[in-house]
Amino acid sequence: MSTPVVSATAPANDPTFENVWDELVWRGLVHVSTDPEALRALLAGDPITYYCGFDPTAPSLHLGNLVQLLTLRRLQLAGHRPLGLVGGSTGLIGDPRPTAERTLNTRETVEQWVDRLRAQVETYLSFEGDNAARIVNNLDWTAPLSAIDFLREIGKHYRVGTMLKKDAVAARLNSEAGISYTEFSYQILQGLDFLELYREYGCVLQTGGSDQWGNLTSGTDLIHRVEGASVHAIGTPLITNSDGTKFGKSEGNAIWLDPEMCSPYRMYQFWLGTTDADVIDRLKVFTFLTREEIEDYARQVEAEPFRRAAQRRLALEVTATVHGAEATASVIAASEALFGRGDLRTLDALALRSALEELPHAEVSLETTVAQALVETELVASLSEARRAIAQGGVTLDGEKVDDEGALVTGALPGGVSVLRRGKKTLAGLFVSPGAGAGR
């Protein structure tokens, strides 16, 4: 089986929209904003400079951040100039979570994460042409400030009463944990960022999640007080599933953009599992498909939901956007081969291993019998049940039927692995080591 050719949609705005603002609204990307009419006019005019910030509170960005990265790109495609801010200083603090204080990471850790996030942000923007992107680090302008200078030059413009009303602060004040002065001050630091970028680059727009609205308006208010200028903010909606559950979480594990933290295979399967109720909204937010294409998929979901055409296109587009066409082609091939629509022996070793790690799996040796492997992977509860399954002809190893209960595992697939199947749909992975003893 040859690896399928994957061709994801090239980033481009839909030309049927008169204004990029109209497209953002249609895609559901504007949950809250400053003056909508002023923003629409602003985005229709000469190129502006705008920014979004990403704090290094983890070693990778995740799907929630991808909303912002793609929004940055859409505005850049409309001719505007993006600033990608990586928060070397705000990452040392962390914005207030709803229920408890963040654990402060070491300066060394934050510095490492700044580099990792910078590299991720850079992949979604263009650094060429008249509206080339620029990456900035807010540690560059906060580190030189003394505490006295910060309080005199920035802190004096804030009113505690207003700060207390911010949603993130109010939620924490009403919790058992309360809020420290450190996290309470976060909104001042973010306001300082917008002011600095306004002064240095003429930045007049900030985007971010709607849960950050208090921090976004901290900057617009500060610039109005200090510079007498009106600037803008757009808060994108928090993406949730139609049943109200938190989006992008799988048993407590975020869907990270770093392939070492979330394999391309797992990301592909995550999108493939999107419900019919959510898939059209996801296509609007996370792909560059046109309005016409998305409306066609909406009709397909209505008429032939069993084909899951919209889900397959969504999984292809987003996985290719994040991990590239080659990796996506490999995971599609692995997905199809695992379920009997391709030759397992022709798969990319890394893609196959990543796929098997998402299945029940075990580490075994070449001395392990298939019957033992069935138990190790919990496809059966006991050796006697394993022997019955083999005798009934319901077990295959690497696509070949197993008729001998004493047959040994082989690890014959790329990367020294094997695929164990019981029945038509129950699969497990075997990571085979010549010298390892059987065991989980």
The angle formed by the CA atoms of residues 191, 193 and 198, to the nearest 5 degrees, is 100
* Res 253: pLDDT: 62
Domain with CATH 3.40.50.620 in the chain: 29-236
What is the distance, to the nearest Å, from the Cα of residue 383 to the centroid of all Cα atoms in its chain?
Answer: 42
* Res 101: pLDDT: 82
* Res 433: pLDDT: 87
Domain with CATH 1.10.240.10 in the chain: 249-345
The angle formed by the CA atoms of residues 55, 56 and 59, to the nearest 5 degrees, is 145
Query: What's the DSSP call for residue 177?
Result: S
How is domain 29-236 classified at the architecture level of CATH?
3-Layer(aba) Sandwich (3.40)
Q: What is the CATH number of domain 249-345?
A: 1.10.240.10
* Res 251: pLDDT: 47
* Res 248: pLDDT: 67
Number of neighbouring beta carbons within 10 Å of residue 98? 12
Q: Which of 105-119, 239-253, 271-285 has the lowest mean pLDDT?
A: 239-253
Kindly report the CATH class assigned to 359-433.
alpha beta
Q: Does residue 391 register a pLDDT over 70?
A: yes
Pair 194, 204: CB distance under 8 Å: no
Q: What is the mean pLDDT of residues 285-312?
A: 98
- Look up residue 298 and give its amino acid: A
Q: Does residue 292 register a pLDDT over 50?
A: yes
* Res 241: pLDDT: 80
List Cβ neighbours of 87 (8 Å cut-off, separation of 6 or more): 53, 54, 55, 56, 114, 137, 138, 139, 193
Q: Which of 46-60, 157-171, 186-200, 207-221 has the lowest mean pLDDT?
A: 157-171
Q: Per-residue confidence at 170, pLDDT binned at 50, 70, 90?
A: confident
pTM: 0.91
Q: Where are the beta strands (DSSP E) in 329-425?
A: 361-365, 395-397, 400-401, 417-422
Q: Per-residue confidence at 390, pLDDT binned at 50, 70, 90?
A: very high
Distance CA 333, CA 340 (A): 11
Domain with CATH 3.10.290.10 in the chain: 359-433
Long-range contacts (CB closer than 8 Å, 24 or more residues apart) made by 169-178: 169/96, 169/214, 171/96, 171/98, 171/99, 172/96, 172/97, 172/98, 172/99, 175/98, 175/99, 175/100, 177/99, 177/100, 177/101
* Res 424: pLDDT: 81
